[in-house]
Structure 1
């Protein structure tokens, strides 16, 4: 019954039984047939998604390889792009605007580079997610699979890209006096929580982008504004001294700032606990669980509409 549409199914259900035998709807129910493209239950959907885990990993790796395939430097651009951005931000904020004031000597550059790399992880996951459905309509319309595979795969692609870039991040930290310690083990839970958060956001914008493709043009402006209020280039704790406490806390608990602060705390030796908001790990866990679970359910509820129209 794979070619039966939802309207056909409703029409068949409305047909009264005949003396000639069971109706088509009754036959479909008897033999376990269902409407093609119908949304499965949430538990079944999770099971189907887990069954496609090998496809998700292979798809993310293929996209990562193809991303810079036509560039002469290839995948080195994964590292070069955020480093060049960090260089520009250092000149503007570090040299001209003196955003490094209040920080121990030699701390600002690893502080800035860490912020750029971590925020880029979230930024790239969102930009890839917003086009996950609208940019792959051929695949969505040709094959039957859980559509959440696409935004999850794109978020995984960005995680792999960040892991590759972490080599440079470690080198910068060591070069400015922050040597490996037990605190570096905190990087693992930080990345896990941020990945869950990013995946939830990718699922949310994937559904929104599937209905409104123009969202991909608006998203860079939203992300740029988010970056400027998240403390990528400056310390919220140091720069806002004298401002109302509630205002400082509101900026510190925004999820982008939370994951950057935790990564800085793990990597940079002189990045003290005073720079972290209260209960920072609870806040990080809250954002990861709520956004991932909410984003997953939000995306799943429109499963049968992706690729139509």
Structure 2
């Protein structure tokens, strides 16, 4: 049996050995499994999975209170009970309601809006770590998970806002055309929250302790967002820089715009309010998405 090798075959063998694995894969048209797609491809893939995101968010909403006897009623009772506690402490005991017309509506709106952001971020810190089995079993853009968790909280907020509108009308307030402005404000807030959720989702996937630290950070953020008091009234006796620092808080502007739309504003809005909301939405929403995408191939590894 002849074992002679032609010069051409020998040369090809030497070339094959000298090639790296990456070069060999490229030569045969092979692609790396789990490699990060380009940003544009990633956006298209997320959009293609929009029905999965919607179904996942709805399933989370329905499953949230399945173990409670009152079921989905807690979706309304939880923010209302929180608002009642805050009204008792801040409105009646600490008298932060002074100078604020319709303080109950002022308070409830702030609580509902901030709870949307707070819940989205809290769930976002565990968006990857809590779904490792799903991530390792199925191929889909991991951004679907933080987006779905944000939409879950949006669904709960929508119910709360409708309940508040009914209560407001029952108390004698007329239906106002300004309520329409709530819709674009919530769209911007949803994109902003999605960006925040994606940022903490990546951090939480790498460092699980983030989920333990986040409640303390969010509580501090809440007390600096003017939920229970008018920032302009509270800071009158303080240095001007304190108000300027508090006004840099994006949640202050989001809450004030929605309060204005609901006719429970604690004061006039600055002329640049909507522009500021759009800027914050673009910076955090787009920036958070890109930041999350950059670590796409790392999720579920290890």
Report the TM-score when normalising by structure 1.
Answer: 0.88
Paired residues for 1:206-221 under 5 Å: 206-221=201-216
1:222 & 1:178 partners in 2: Cα distance? 36
Contact 1:132/1:151 (CA < 8 Å) preserved in 2? yes
Report the equivalent of 2:109: 114
Q: 1:45 aligns with which of 12, 23, 42?
A: 42
Instruction: Decide whether aligned partners of structure 1 residues 158 and 31 sit closer, same or farther in structure 2, where only a CA change above 3 A counts.
Output: farther
Contact 2:100/2:266 (CA < 8 Å) preserved in 1? no
Contact 1:110/1:176 (CA < 8 Å) preserved in 2? no
1:46 & 1:298 partners in 2: Cα distance? 13
Q: 1:200: Cα distance to partner?
A: 0.2
Q: 1:177: Cα distance to partner?
A: 4.1
Report the TM-score when normalising by structure 2.
Answer: 0.90
Question: Are 1:260 and 2:260 matched, yes or no?
Answer: no
Task: List gaps (5 residues or longer) in structure 2.
Answer: 1-10
Instruction: Decide whether aligned partners of structure 1 residues 21 and 286 sit closer, same or farther in structure 2, where only a CA change above 3 A counts.
Output: same
1:129 & 1:272 partners in 2: Cα distance? 31
Q: 1:125 aligns with which of 120, 124, 132?
A: 120
Question: Are 1:222 and 2:217 matched, yes or no?
Answer: yes
Secondary structure in 2 matching 1:103: coil
Count of residue pairs the alignment pairs up: 290
Q: 1:76: Cα distance to partner?
A: 1.1
1:211 & 1:20 partners in 2: Cα distance? 41
Q: 2:148 aligns with which of 137, 144, 153?
A: 153
Report the equivalent of 1:79: 76
1:189 & 1:17 partners in 2: Cα distance? 64
Task: List gaps (5 residues or longer) in structure 1.
Answer: 1-15
Report the equivalent of 1:3: none
Could you tell which deviates more after superposition, 155-164 or 193-202? Answer: 155-164
Question: Are 1:62 and 2:97 matched, yes or no?
Answer: no
Instruction: Decide whether aligned partners of structure 1 residues 30 and 268 sit closer, same or farther in structure 2, where only a CA change above 3 A counts.
Output: same
Contact 1:253/1:277 (CA < 8 Å) preserved in 2? no
Q: 1:279 aligns with which of 247, 253, 272?
A: 272
Q: CA RMSD in A?
A: 2.0
Larger C-alpha radius of gyration, 1 or 2?
2
2:237 & 2:274 partners in 1: Cα distance? 26
Report the equivalent of 1:88: 85
2:227 & 2:64 partners in 1: Cα distance? 25
Q: 1:187 aligns with which of 169, 172, 182?
A: 182
Map Cα deviations across residues 109-141 of structure 1 (whole Å, 9 max, x no partner): 000010110000000100111110011011111
